[in-house]
Chains A and B, each alone.
Chain A
Amino acid sequence: MSASKPDGLSRRDFLGVTGALAGAGLLAGKSTAGDGDNRPAAGGLGPDPVKFGLRVNGKDHEVAAEPRATLLDVLRDSLDLTGAKKACDRGECGACTVLVDGKAVYACMMLALQARGREIRTVEGLAKGEDLHAVQAAFIEHDGYQCGFCTPGQVMATVALLEKTPSPSGDQIRAGLCGNLCRCAAYNRIFDAAAAASKAK
C-alpha cells in the first residue's frame, strides 16, 4: 500500500465523509433524528468503521476506524502507539503532539482520515534502535520532565521546532513550545534541553 494511494477512497469521498460528519452531527455521535439510528445522510461514510491507510514512522499501516475517530485515538487504540497522550482531547495541552508532514499538530484535533497520505511521525519513531535522537538525549541529561506524561508531546514539539529553526533563541524556544503544557512544570529544563539539542546538531 503506497502513501499516495493508501486505499480505495478518492479525495472526493473523503470530503464527502467530513461533510457528512459536520452535517449529521456525527462528531458528537448522535443522529439528527434522535431515534438511535446513527447512519449519516446519504453519500457519506460511517458510522461503522472504514478501512484506510496511514503512514506512520515510515511504515504503512491499514486501519479500520470510525470516520469520527481522531488521529490520536487511532494511533493509540489501533496502532498501539501510546506515546502520544490524551490529556485534554480538545487542543489545549499538547500532550498528543505528533508531526504530520513535518509540522507539529495536536493529534486530538485531526481526524485520522485527514492524515491519510501524509507522513506521520510519533515519539516512537525518533530513536534509531538504541540510539536516541539528540532531543531525547537532551531531555534525559537536563531532566526535562518529572512525571513524563507530557514528555512525548514536548519532545515532538521540540523536534518540530529544531527542524524548522535549528538554532533558536530563548524566545523562539518558548514560542515554539508554547502549545505544550507541563503541570509538573519542568519548563526551565525543557528549554535547557531544547537549547542543548540545538547545539548538539
Chain B
Amino acid sequence: MAKRTLRVGYPGNYREIEVDSPDAEPAPWDADSKLAVVGKRSPRLEGADKVTGKAKYTADVKLQGMLVARVLRSPYARATARSIGLAKALKMPGVKAAIEVEKEARYHGQAIAAVAAETEAQAEDAVAAIEVDWAVGEHVVDVEAARKPNAPRVHGGKNPNERGGEAQNTATEEACVTALKKSHATVDITFTTPVVTHSCLESHGSVARWESDGSLTVWDSTQSIFGVRDGLARGFQLPAEKVRVVKEHMGGGFGSKLGMGQHSMIAARLAREAKAPVKLMLTRKEEHLAGGNRPSSVQRVRAGADKDGKLTCLWLQSHGTGGINGGANCAGPLMSLYNCPVRRLWHADVITNASPAAAFRAPGHVQGMFALESTMDELAGKLGLDPIEFRKRNDQNEMRQAEYGEGAKMAGWEARAHLPNSGGRHKARGLGVSASIWGGGGAPGAQARCVISRDGAVEIQCGTQDIGTGTRTIIAMIAAEELGLKPEQVLVKLGDTTLPFSHGSGGSMTAPSVTPAVRAATAAARGRVFEACAKSLKADADNLTAKGGNVVAKGGASIPWAEACSKIAGANVSEQATRAQNFRGYKDGTAGCQFAEVEVDLETGHVQVLRVVAVHDCGRVVNPLLAESQINGGIIQGLSYALLEQRILDDATGRMMNANFSDYRIAGPKEIPEISVVLFDVSNGRTNTGVMGIGEPPIVPTPAAIANAVAHAIGKRITDLPITPDKILAALGKK
C-alpha cells in the first residue's frame, strides 16, 4: 500500500487527507487532477446503433432453427394443478416441446407449464390447448386481510402471513412515548404507498441454445450476466464455465432483471427438450403479472421536535407486501438521514397471494422518503419553521447543506409564498422540497482487462453490462483518459461472461465498481507500451506520458500512439486488474435534494408538475451528459410513482385488473416537467477514480418533493400514493 495525499471535498470546501492505495494502481484522481476526457459531455458510443435499429436486444436475437416459447400461467391466485395435460398441446402444429413448470400456484400469473413451437402464434395456440385440472384454493391479496389470524395461509401450514419484529438497536416503545410527551411539536401520520411494477419496455426474456459439447449459451435481458450464469449452472448442475451468458444491449433494467429469472430456466429446459434454440420473451401482461414489483407500504410515523427545531423522536411502525416474497421494509431514510436521539422501527412483511416483489430502483427508499419528508414538512409547519431551515437543523451532511443552498436559489424558494398562478382561483401552485440519500460507493472485485495491439488498437474487456446508463461509454472515457486518446478510439467489450468478472448492475454500483478496475488495467497496459517504446524516445519508461494521441518524453520528444505501439514485441500487451477495497476517503454515500413546483387544478383535481430542480452528487462525474440523463429518468419515474402508478388486484378473484399500459399508466410526454439539474462535483478520495453511482439517488426524493408541493398548493396533505385527482378533490371537500 502506498500513502497518498489527496484533496477531497467539494467546491468551496476542500481539505487534504491521506489514503492507503494499492502500489500497483495509478495515483487516485482528486480535486486537483486536470483531466482531458473525463468530465466532458460525450455522446454515447453505441448511439448510431441505437438510432438506426442495428442494436440487437435479446428480443432481436435470431438463431438457426430457433423456436419460440410461451408460458401457461395460473388464472387463479391460489390453486393446485391436480394434473397438467400436455399431450394435446404437443400434437399442435409446429410444437416441438412442452414442459411442466409448477403445480402449486400461489399468485395470478404464476408459471405452470410452457411450450416451444416454430412460431409465436403456434406457441400461443398450444398453450391454450394445455389441459389443467385445477383445485382452486382460498387466496388473500389484501394486505390488511392477510394479517388477520383466520386469513388463508399463503405458504400453507403454520407459516404466518405476517413476519414482523422490532429492528436491532432500536429504542423501546416507552422511550418513544416519553420523548414524544416532552416534545414541543409532534405528528402522528399514517402513509400508504401502492405496489408498482417495473414496466421495462423490453420484457424479461432469454434465448437458450445447448451446444454440441453439452455447454449452454444464453442471451438474456439481464442486469447481471454472471448472476444468470450462476443461476443456470445451479439449475442444471453444470460447472459455471459450461454456461455462457451474453447481453449486448438491454431494454430497461430497474432492478427486476438482477439475478436469474424463471424464464431463463424455462427457455433452457425447453431448448434441451426440443434439441433446438428457444426464445422466450414475456408479454406485457406477463411483465405486470410476474415480472417483479415494488412492495407496498403502510407507514405510521410518530415524530417530535423541540422548541429549537431539533428532532426528539422518529418512530416508524410499518408493514407492506411483496406478494409471496418479503422485502417491504422501507425504513432506510428514517433510520439514517437525520440526527435524532430516539429512533424506533417495527416492521412486518405481509405475505399475500400476489406476485413476488423484486429490487426496484432504490428499494425501500422511495416509499420511506415519501413518509419521512412529508412528516418533516408537517413538523416544520407546526414549529413555524421554513421546511429547509428545519431540515438543516437536523442534518449533519455538509454536502446536502450546501446543496439546499444551490437548489433553493434555482427553484426560487425565497418567493415560495408568492408563486405565480396561471389559472386564477381555479388553480393553485405549490413548491416542495425533499432530501435524497443513497450509497453508491461500489464494491471490490470487479475486473477489467486492457489489450493494446501493435497497430495501436485499444480494447477494454469487462464482464459488466450497459443497461442504458452509459457504462460502455464511460469505460471508454476512463481508458482514453489514461492513454491520451479519444473515447471512440477505445473498443469496449462487455455483456459476456467469457470476459473478466463484474458484478450485477444494481445498487448504483456499476460505475464506481468498474471504473477503478478499468483505470488500473489501462495504466498497467500503458506501462508496457512505454517500456516497449522507451528506447525509440531515448527516455526511461518512467518518464513517459500519453497525451493528445502521442507518447511524450519528459524532454519533449514524442511519437504518435500507433508508432509507440508498433514497438510492442508480439501481437499485443494485455493487463488485467481487480478493483480494490474502497479507501477511507471523504464521504461514503451520496446526498442530494430536489425541489418540485406543481400546479393543482382545483376543479378537476389534476396535478401538473411544472418544474423539478435536482441537486445531486455522485463523486467525480465522468460524463455530465449521461449523468443528467440518469437524473431526468429517476425524477420522471418518481413522478410517475407519485401521481400515476398502482397495481390493482381484485380482492374477490385475486387477479390483477390493470395488466397493460392503458390501465396501468406510466408517465408519458404530457406529464413531463421542465427539469434543471445541478451536479455537485465531489472529490471523495474513495477509489482511484472517485466515481460514484447515480442510477438510484434521483428517484428517492421526487415523490416526497411532489407530495410536499401539493400540500403547499392546496393546504391539505395527501398521505396515500398515487396522488390521483379523486384524492385531491376529496381533500378539498369536493367529493
**Cβ contact within 8 Å between A186 and B669:** no
**Cβ contact within 8 Å between A85 and B467:** no
A187 contact set on B, CB distance < 8 A: 632, 636, 667-669, 672
**Cβ contact within 8 Å between B60 and A82:** yes
B410 vs chain A, min Cβ distance (A)? 16
**Cβ contact within 8 Å between B284 and A147:** no
**Cβ contact within 8 Å between B636 and A89:** no
Asked if A40 is an interface residue, CB under 8 A from chain B, the answer is no
B55 contact set on A, CB distance < 8 A: 148
Give the contact stretch, choosing among B40-48, B148-156, B727-735.
B40-48
Give the contact stretch, choosing among B198-206, B267-275, B411-419, B516-524.
B198-206
Within 8 A of A (CB), among B244-287: 249-254, 281, 283-284
A198 vs chain B, min Cβ distance (A)? 16
B59 contact set on A, CB distance < 8 A: 82, 85-86
A185 contact set on B, CB distance < 8 A: 632-633, 635-637, 640, 667, 672
B571 vs chain A, min Cβ distance (A)? 30
Number of interface residues of B (CB under 8 A): 66
Within 8 A of A (CB), among B573-632: 625-626, 628-630, 632
Using A92-B662, A146-B633 as known contacts, say yes or no to A140 and B48 having CB atoms under 8 A apart: yes
Q: How many residue pairs between the two chains, A and B, have CB atoms under 8 Å in the bound complex?
A: 180
**Cβ contact within 8 Å between B669 and A183:** no
Give the contact stretch, choosing among A1-9, A11-19, A111-119, A122-130.
A122-130
**Cβ contact within 8 Å between A89 and B284:** yes
Q: Which residue of B lies closest to A149 (CB)?
A: B251
**Cβ contact within 8 Å between B51 and A123:** yes
A84 contact set on B, CB distance < 8 A: 53
C-alpha spacing A141/B625, complex, angstroms: 10
A148 vs chain B, min Cβ distance (A)? 3
**Cβ contact within 8 Å between B53 and A82:** yes
**Cβ contact within 8 Å between B251 and A188:** no
Asked if B457 is an interface residue, CB under 8 A from chain A, the answer is no
A186 contact set on B, CB distance < 8 A: 629, 632-633
Prevailing SS type, chain A contact patch: loop
**Cβ contact within 8 Å between B56 and A174:** no
**Cβ contact within 8 Å between B633 and A88:** no
Q: Which residue of B lies closest to A140 (CB)?
A: B47
Asked if B675 is an interface residue, CB under 8 A from chain A, the answer is yes
C-alpha spacing A95/B640, complex, angstroms: 19
Give the contact stretch, choosing among B119-127, B434-442, B525-533, B550-558.
B119-127
Using A146-B633, A148-B251 as known contacts, say yes or no to A124 and B43 having CB atoms under 8 A apart: no
Within 8 A of A (CB), among B423-452: none
B660 contact set on A, CB distance < 8 A: 88, 90, 92
Q: Which residue of A lies closest to B672 (CB)?
A: A187
Q: Which residue of A lies closest to B53 (CB)?
A: A83
Within 8 A of A (CB), among B32-75: 43-44, 46-57, 59-60, 62
C-alpha spacing A92/B59, complex, angstroms: 18
B52 contact set on A, CB distance < 8 A: 83, 123-124, 126-127, 132, 136
Asked if B332 is an interface residue, CB under 8 A from chain A, the answer is no
Using A143-B626, A187-B636 as known contacts, say yes or no to A81 and B283 having CB atoms under 8 A apart: no
Asked if A61 is an interface residue, CB under 8 A from chain B, the answer is no
**Cβ contact within 8 Å between B51 and A140:** yes
Asked if B538 is an interface residue, CB under 8 A from chain A, the answer is no
Q: Which residue of A lies closest to B203 (CB)?
A: A87
Asked if A23 is an interface residue, CB under 8 A from chain B, the answer is no
Using A122-B53, A123-B53, A148-B468 as known contacts, say yes or no to A80 and B201 having CB atoms under 8 A apart: no
In-complex Cβ contact of B284 among A69, A87, A124, A155 (8 A) = A87
Q: Chain B 109-127, CB within 8 Å of chain A: the 1/0 string?
A: 0000000000111001100
Using A93-B661, A140-B43, A182-B201 as known contacts, say yes or no to A189 and B51 having CB atoms under 8 A apart: no
Using A92-B661, A143-B625 as known contacts, say yes or no to A181 and B62 having CB atoms under 8 A apart: no
**Cβ contact within 8 Å between A29 and B202:** no
In-complex Cβ contact of A180 among B199, B628, B669, B672 (8 A) = B669
A150 vs chain B, min Cβ distance (A)? 5
Asked if A30 is an interface residue, CB under 8 A from chain B, the answer is yes
Q: Which residue of B lies closest to A144 (CB)?
A: B51
Q: Which residue of A lies closest to B281 (CB)?
A: A86
Asked if A177 is an interface residue, CB under 8 A from chain B, the answer is yes
A122 contact set on B, CB distance < 8 A: 53
**Cβ contact within 8 Å between A183 and B629:** no
C-alpha spacing A104/B476, complex, angstroms: 36
C-alpha spacing A30/B668, complex, angstroms: 35
C-alpha spacing A187/B60, complex, angstroms: 24
B251 contact set on A, CB distance < 8 A: 85, 87, 147-150
B88 contact set on A, CB distance < 8 A: 36
Counting chain B CB atoms within 10 Å of each CB, the highest count among A68, A127, A147 belongs to: A147
Asked if B158 is an interface residue, CB under 8 A from chain A, the answer is no
Asked if B145 is an interface residue, CB under 8 A from chain A, the answer is no
**Cβ contact within 8 Å between B629 and A189:** yes
**Cβ contact within 8 Å between A181 and B284:** no
Q: Which residue of B lies closest to A178 (CB)?
A: B669
C-alpha spacing A145/B128, complex, angstroms: 37
Counting chain B CB atoms within 10 Å of each CB, the highest count among A69, A126, A151, A174 belongs to: A151
Q: Which residue of A lies closest to B623 (CB)?
A: A143
C-alpha spacing A190/B662, complex, angstroms: 22
In-complex Cβ contact of B250 among A89, A147, A190 (8 A) = A147
Asked if B307 is an interface residue, CB under 8 A from chain A, the answer is no
**Cβ contact within 8 Å between B124 and A29:** yes
C-alpha spacing A155/B55, complex, angstroms: 14
C-alpha spacing A39/B661, complex, angstroms: 33
C-alpha spacing A155/B54, complex, angstroms: 13
Q: Chain A 62-103, CB within 8 Å of chain B: the 1/0 string?
A: 000010110001001100111111111110110100000000
Asked if A50 is an interface residue, CB under 8 A from chain B, the answer is no
**Cβ contact within 8 Å between A140 and B669:** no
C-alpha spacing A127/B675, complex, angstroms: 31
B281 contact set on A, CB distance < 8 A: 86
A190 contact set on B, CB distance < 8 A: 669
Asked if A44 is an interface residue, CB under 8 A from chain B, the answer is no
C-alpha spacing A150/B630, complex, angstroms: 16
In-complex Cβ contact of B201 among A90, A127, A183 (8 A) = A183
A124 contact set on B, CB distance < 8 A: 52-54
Within 8 A of B (CB), among A141-167: 141, 143, 145-152, 155
C-alpha spacing A79/B88, complex, angstroms: 32
C-alpha spacing A36/B125, complex, angstroms: 10
**Cβ contact within 8 Å between A181 and B44:** no
A143 contact set on B, CB distance < 8 A: 43-44, 625-626, 628-629
Asked if A52 is an interface residue, CB under 8 A from chain B, the answer is no
B672 contact set on A, CB distance < 8 A: 174, 185, 187-188, 191
Q: Which residue of A lies closest to B68 (CB)?
A: A77
B422 vs chain A, min Cβ distance (A)? 14
Within 8 A of A (CB), among B283-301: 283-284
B202 contact set on A, CB distance < 8 A: 85, 87, 147, 149
Counting chain A CB atoms within 10 Å of each CB, the highest count among B470, B632, B662 belongs to: B632
C-alpha spacing A175/B250, complex, angstroms: 28
Asked if A184 is an interface residue, CB under 8 A from chain B, the answer is yes
Q: Which residue of A lies closest to B466 (CB)?
A: A147
**Cβ contact within 8 Å between B632 and A183:** no
Apart from A149-B201, A180-B668, 4 more pairs, CB < 8 Å? A90-B284, A145-B50, A183-B637, A187-B667
Nearest 3 A/B pairs, CB to CB: A83-B53, A149-B251, A147-B468
13 contacts between A and B (CB under 8 A): A36-B129, A87-B201, A88-B284, A124-B54, A127-B52, A132-B52, A139-B51, A146-B469, A148-B46, A151-B50, A174-B670, A183-B252, A187-B668
A residues adjacent to B (C-beta < 8 A): 29-30, 36, 38, 66, 68-69, 73, 76-77, 80-90, 92-93, 95, 122-124, 126-127, 132, 135-136, 139-141, 143, 145-152, 155, 173-175, 177-178, 180-191
B residues adjacent to A (C-beta < 8 A): 43-44, 46-57, 59-60, 62, 88, 92, 119-121, 124-125, 128-129, 199-203, 249-254, 281, 283-284, 467-470, 625-626, 628-630, 632-633, 635-637, 640, 660-662, 666-670, 672, 674-675
